[in-house]
Amino acid sequence: MKSTYFAFSLIVLVFSKSLSQDLLGTRTGNYSGVSGIALNPSSMVDSKLRFDVNISTFAFSVDNNYIFIPKKDLKFLGFKNLINKASNNGFTDDYKYGSGDKKGYFGFFIQGPSAMMNVGRHAFSIFYNARLEFNIDKVHFAAAKLALEDMRFDPLENDFNGTNPANIFNAKNFSVNSLAWAEWGGSYGTSILLKKRHHIKGAITLKYLQGMGGGYIENPDLKFYMHGGLDDTTWNIDAQNFEYGRVDYWSYGNLKKYKDLIHGKGFGFDLGFTYEHYKKDADSYKYQMDGQMLTDPVVTKYDYRIGLSLLDFGSVSYKDEFSGTFRIDGNNPLYDQKKYGATNNDWFHEKIESQMDFDTTYSKLFYGTPYDTKISDQFNMNLPTALSLQADVNVWKKLFVNATIIKSV
């Protein structure tokens, strides 16, 4: 017995720090199978798919509150047109002097070989995923505009000595977080309560994490301004505090095997619960065969369903020779950016040939020595932890309305 369901989905994304989910269109349905586990592990329990196998799936998402492609330049089914516009800078920016901070996000998700199986009231899954998340937040409007205009935008420029206070900008508390990782994991779920018209399901996913790369910038206290000449522009920065951690990107220059990608490790988990309120008329989803009353696996049994899940709780620790944490601290007694040259340094045109060159060059500009900014040989990156609430309601016959809320925590 086959049934076709039309579902209207409403997906609400609350952007805060970073998002943590892709493929939302395929994760919320009754036939989501192994794909739905990433949104709520308990979705696999009593699934309409008793067995599901995924070979490979990928998705990416981009979001920001600054640049966009005008609606008039888009085509309804023009994905190629969208790529061409982005590749050829066919976008505009939401620029206004004195406007609020800017933010942006990019995510890439590969779901590798994975499988899910239901056995009675229990469900199991195994999977391999590779993921990338990049998030930048609280970017000063002037920094965003200058970056877009390749550091040449006359209304934001100052004179050589920075005597125009209106065009000296304070870029304080912006943050950058980037994490690339693989996760090997498994899930287990079961029916916790099945009584009359009430069904509660629960499941947990455990993950072993392999950090492929990562970095962050936090707690910055920077003032900057631009001044231009006839042929060039110089970027001046006054930095009081600045901390960053990173994996040296030169470590990827000689990759020979999979383990050469791995620089960190960690653990994480997802936890999910689902409540289903069954229809009053049990005959709509049950049938009799050989004297037994059986449940039709392809018929939806509930009037409404509510799910709650905690996603991506965990962290990756980077401790190898390519990792480190660095800090520019205005309270350090060695700190003197005027004496060592950072105040009048041409930051925009500084020639940097490697990650190590970046670290040592700016240490000299603030402390006079190449290694005083390094404070640790390791750093940790948290996963993009989120809470998710899902609701699915059978509003009329085979019409369902679905809403999903995801909130970073």
125-157 per-position pLDDT tens digit? 999 999 999 999 999 998 898 888 877 788 888
Amino acid at 226: M
* Residue 14 pLDDT class (50, 70, 90 cuts): very low
| Residue 39 within any structural domain of the chain | yes
Residue 21 above 90 pLDDT? Answer: no
| Residue 334 within any structural domain of the chain | yes
**Cα 214 from Cα 224, distance rounded (Å):** 26
Phi first, then psi, for residue 99 (nearest 5°) are -70, 175
pLDDT value of residue 45: 95
Look up residue 22 and give its DSSP letter: -
pLDDT value of residue 169: 87
Stronger pLDDT, 329 or 236, i.e. the higher one: 329
Give me the count of residues in the chain.
Answer: 409
Interval 153-180: pLDDT, tens: 888 887 766 677 778 888 888 899 999 9
Chain center to CA of 126: 22
| Residue 283 within any structural domain of the chain | yes
CB 208 within 8 A of CB 183: yes
Residue 204 above 90 pLDDT? Answer: yes
26 burial via Cβ count (<10 Å: 0-12, 13-18, 19+) = middle
Q: pTM of the predicted model, to two decimals?
A: 0.87
Interval 74-107: pLDDT, tens: 776 666 666 776 666 667 888 888 888 999 999 9
| Residue 1 within any structural domain of the chain | no
How many domains does the chain contain in total? 1
| Residue 342 within any structural domain of the chain | yes
Q: Please identify which residue in the block is written with the tokens 């069904």.
A: 199
Q: Which of 56, 54, 58 is nearest to 116 (CA)?
A: 54
The encoded tokens of residue 80 equal 């190629």
CB 124 within 8 A of CB 152: no
Q: Which of 124, 108, 114 is nearest to 187 (CA)?
A: 124
Neighbours of 359 (CB within 10 A): 19
pLDDT value of residue 306: 98
pLDDT value of residue 162: 67
Give the domain extent around 68: 6-408
Mean pLDDT of 291-312: 86
| Residue 317 within any structural domain of the chain | yes
